[in-house]
Structure 1
C-alpha cells in the first residue's frame, strides 16, 4: 500500500480524472470504512495534489491507473453515455458511465474536459455574431440599413420625378397645337403614327417658286409603325399617289386641303390596312427652326444641285446644313433624277439627322439648348387631340429605332410612277394595293426583316 501511495503522489502522471473503484469487499482497503457509504462517492474524483497527505486523501482502490499519453499515441474512442449525449444532468453521488466523452480542445493541445458535474466547462465556440477582437458582427444590421437607405433614396427620386414630371408634362402639353385628325377605324395591334410635312405657312418666309404656290400641300407623308415585338418601320407614301375621295380622283397631298386631315388619315389607313393612332404634322418653316436650334445637322447627297424651285444650292458630298438648307434639301425634287421618290428618301434622311442630333450627349447635357429645341419643335407641330407628351416620346423613340440599323425603311409599292387617270389630275403614282396591305401586315406583326422595302413592282 505504501508503494501505491508513492505512485499516487508522483508527478510523473499529468493531472487527470482517475475513475474510482467501488470494491465489493471492504476489507481490501483499511480506509474505506471511514470514507462513508461507497454508493455516496462520485464515480469520478479529481486526483489530489502531491502536497496532500496520502493518508488523508480519499481512499483509493487497486484499480489500474490510466497510462499517460505519449506523443503520437491514439486516444481511445469511447461512446458517450446516453445521459451525457442528451445533455441531462445527474444528481451528485449517482454513478455515471465511465465511458464519458473525452475531446480535444480547439487548439489540439490534448487537454481533456470533464463532465458538467466536474465543475469544468468545455470552452464555448466563438459566436458567429462576434468579429475578431470582440467586435460585433454587424452584417445583418448593415444590410438592413442599406435597404432602408436605398428605399429612402428611391422614394425621394420618385417624389422629385413626380413633381418635376407633372410640371414638364403640363408645360409640353400646353405648347401643343391640337386638332381633329383621327378617324373612328377599329384599333389594330401595332402602334402607328402618321407624320406629315406641310407647306402651310406659319410666319416663316419660304424660298423658291414652290413657296409662292396658293393653298397648302402635304409634301411629306410618313407612316411610322412600332410592333409589340420586332423591328420598327418608317415608310414613305409618295405625295403624288393616286387616291379617290368621294368618287373623285386626286393626289394624296391635296386631300387635307380639300377634305380635311381626318380624310387624309382615312386614305392612309386604306392604303396600309392599319389604324392610325396618332398624327403629327410639321408646318412650313418648323423644320428650319428646329435645325437652327440644334446648330445644324449633317446631310449627305452625292450630286451637285442648284435648284431654283426649292432654293437648294448644294455641292456633292456631306455638309452641316442650317435650317434653310435642310428645308430646301427635303423639298427639292425637280433636280433629282428620281423625282418625288428621291425627295422622300432625303426627307427621311433629314428627320433621322434631327433625331440623332437631338438625342446626342452634346445637346442633352445643355439645358439651354434642350429648352430652345423643345420650344422650336412644339411651336412648329400640330397633333391630334389624343396626343400627349408621352405619346410624343414614344413616337420619337420609335422613329429612332426605325431609322437605325435594325429598322425597316423605304416606300410603298407602286406599279406605275407616271399614271394619268384624267387630264385634270395630271401625272400620278399608281400604288399596288394588295402588295402594300401585305407589307404593312408584316410590319405591324414585327415579322418583316430589317432593311429597305418598296419601289416599283
Structure 2
C-alpha cells in the first residue's frame, strides 16, 4: 500500500523512553475510508441533534431553535421573526393604452381581390362574346341607289325573317317543315324605330302581302321586292312607301330561328288559342308553355290556320321576338358563360346584316325587341284599309293611306308614342 494512503497514528511512548514524538504509521486502509484528497472535499457531518430540552424554550419562555447551521450551542438564537417594517411600495403608474393592432393583409383581402378579378373577367367576357359573334356575321348590300328620304328623328331599322333554306340539310328541312323551295323570300317584315327623345320605341309589322309600288317593277306584293332585288330593293320600296330613312338591316333565316331558341333551352310563350297547322308542323294547346326550336318556328310561320291570316302571323312574330330577347336577358343566360356564348354565336350564325349596320345598331334592335315583352315598346302593324283585296298580284293587303301617313309622320318627326295610334292594331279601317 502506498504512502499516500498512510496516516500517522499516535503511539503511547514507552515509559522512561523520553521519546514523546514517536508515531507509528498505520498503512492499512480501512474499508470505505476516504482518501486524504477526497476528505478535503467532503462536507462535514451535521452536529448531533440537541437534546429535546435544548430545542425547547429559553428562560423567558420563548421558543429556541435546535442548534444547527449558523447556531451556536449554548446561545439562544436571535429572534428572526422581528423584521424591520418594509417601506410602502409606490403606486404603480397606469399602463399606457395599447395601440390598436393593425391587421396585415390576410385571407379576407385575398378573397375580395379574387371576387373583383372574377367580376372584371365576367364583364369582359360578357362584352367579348357578342363582339366575337358579330365579327362572323354575313354582310349583304342593302343600301339603295338614287334619291333617298332625309334622316328624321331617332333611328329606323328593317328586320326581316326570311324563308331561306340555305345551310339546312334535307332532314332538317323535313323536320322544320320548310319545304324544298330555293332562294329567299320574306316571311316577316318589321320596321324597328327607336326615338331619340321621349316616347316608346316601336315594332311596326308590314304585312308581306302589302300591295305597294316597287321601283322599276310596277305594283306588286312587298315580298316580291325582296324576291326580285333582295335587301336593296326591299329597303328602297319601304323608304318610298313610308318616307322613313332606313338606317340598318338585319335578316335571319329559318335555321337561325330554330337554333337561337334551342340555344336558350326553349322560349316561354302564352298561346292565345289552340293552333293546329299541318303545313307549319305544329299542334299547340291554348295556354302558356315552353316551345323548342322547331315548334317555335312553326308558331311564327303558321298562316292558314289563323283567322287573321297574315295579320295574325305578324302579331305572333312580334310576340315571339319579345319572348326570345326576354329569355336572352335573364341571369340564367347572361351569367352562365357557355349559354351566353352559345346564344350570341347561334344568333350570328344565321344572320345577314347590311354593309353599314353596326353592332350598336344591332343592339338597338335587340333592345327594342326585349322591351316589347315588358310593355316598354309598342307592338304595331301598319294601319290596314282592307286585308283581302283582289289585285293584279292576287289577294293582297291594302293600307289605310291616311292613317299610315300619320303614323310614319309621327315616327319621323319624333312625336312621342305612348299608346298605339288608331288603326295600328291590325284591324281593317276601311272597305
Which consecutive residues of structure 1, in runs of 5 or more, have no partner in the other structure? 1-132, 136-155
Call closer, same or farther: CA 1:372–1:164 in 2, change over 3 Å.
Answer: closer
Q: Distance in 2 between matches of 1:164 and 1:294?
A: 18
Call closer, same or farther: CA 1:431–1:253 in 2, change over 3 Å.
Answer: same
Q: Distance in 1 between matches of 2:338 and 2:129?
A: 15
Of 143, 161, 167, 1:182 maps to: 143
User: How far is 1:310 from its partner?
Assistant: 1.2
Contact 1:173–1:388 (CA under 8 A) maintained in structure 2: no
2:287 is the alignment partner of 1:343: no
Q: Distance in 1 between matches of 2:126 and 2:342?
A: 19
Over aligned residue pairs, what C-alpha RMSD do you find? 3.0
SS in 2 for 1:295: coil
Q: Deviations over 1:216-257 (max 9, x none)?
A: 310100111001122101110001101222242221112112
**Residue of structure 2 equivalent to 1:369:** 339
Contact 2:140–2:231 (CA under 8 A) maintained in structure 1: no
Q: Distance in 2 between matches of 1:306 and 1:297?
A: 19
User: How far is 1:418 from its partner?
Assistant: 1.1
Aligned positions of 1:164-179 closer than 5 A: 171-179=132-140
2:147 is the alignment partner of 1:206: no
Of 174, 196, 201, 1:232 maps to: 201
**Residue of structure 2 equivalent to 1:216:** 184
Q: Distance in 2 between matches of 1:316 and 1:247?
A: 43
Q: Distance in 1 between matches of 2:123 and 2:305?
A: 51
**Residue of structure 2 equivalent to 1:299:** 269
Call closer, same or farther: CA 1:324–1:168 in 2, change over 3 Å.
Answer: closer
Which consecutive residues of structure 2, in runs of 5 or more, have no partner in the other structure? 1-96, 100-116
Call closer, same or farther: CA 1:351–1:170 in 2, change over 3 Å.
Answer: closer
Q: Distance in 2 between matches of 1:232 and 1:450?
A: 11
User: How far is 1:201 from its partner?
Assistant: 1.3
Contact 2:141–2:231 (CA under 8 A) maintained in structure 1: yes
2:223 is the alignment partner of 1:253: yes
Q: Distance in 2 between matches of 1:443 and 1:249?
A: 25
User: How far is 1:305 from its partner?
Assistant: 2.4
Contact 2:322–2:371 (CA under 8 A) maintained in structure 1: no
Q: Distance in 1 between matches of 2:291 and 2:410?
A: 36
**Residue of structure 1 equivalent to 2:295:** 325
User: How far is 1:161 from its partner?
Assistant: 10
Aligned positions of 1:17-416 closer than 5 A: 171-183=132-144, 185=148, 186-204=150-168, 205-207=172-174, 211-229=179-197, 230-245=199-214, 246-416=216-386
**Residue of structure 1 equivalent to 2:409:** 441
Under a length normalisation based on structure 1, what TM-score does the superposition of the two structures give?
0.61
Q: Deviations over 1:390-421 (max 9, x none)?
A: 22222212322344323221200121111122
Paired residues, number: 307
Call closer, same or farther: CA 1:294–1:161 in 2, change over 3 Å.
Answer: closer
Q: Distance in 2 between matches of 1:168 and 1:332?
A: 33
Q: Distance in 2 between matches of 1:170 and 1:377?
A: 12
User: How far is 1:165 from its partner?
Assistant: 9.1
Under a length normalisation based on structure 2, what TM-score does the superposition of the two structures give?
0.65
